[in-house]
Amino acid sequence: MHQPRIFISYDYDNDKHYKNLLLAWDENNEFDFAFSDQSADVSIQSTNADAIKRAISAKINSATHFLCIVGANTSQSGWVAWEIDKAKDLEKKLVAVKTASGNTTPSGLRNAGASWAMSFTFDAIKKAIDGA
């Protein structure tokens, strides 16, 4: 079986450290993580966003899974919402994990058939990815 290729969606301003933890776990070769930090300083509504959207779309399209890190402010991120919608359009396997149980689920993940990790641990995330 091929190694899952996972696009990581996260709130750049608030949850980079969680993305970095995933990348540290990537050293074990269980997953092949991909992500985009390009959207950080560009409004989702900006005309400059078109090239970024094309680049992110290509990365999501090449992934087998879409993993959304749901932090305290993720549900308010226009970029994360756009990435979730793009992953659904491309029929990617959706996986999500909250950094804290009280974090609000982004609306695009509600009733979307996402496989949820019950905690932000390697084992829980691996189980969710394997179950997606």
- CB atoms < 10 A from the CB of 14, how many? 16
For residue range 14-51, list pLDDT tens digits in order: 999 998 888 888 776 666 676 555 555 566 667 778 88
For residue range 76-91, list pLDDT tens digits in order: 999 999 999 999 999 9
In order of 5, 26, 43, the CA distances from 78 in angstroms are 24, 27, 8
Q: Which residues contact 42 (CB under 8 A, 6 or more apart)?
A: 48, 49, 52
Could you tell me the pTM of the whole model?
Answer: 0.89
For residue 68, which of 6, 126, 10 has the smallest C-alpha distance? 10
Look at the block and give the residue holding tokens 């696009």.
Answer: 7
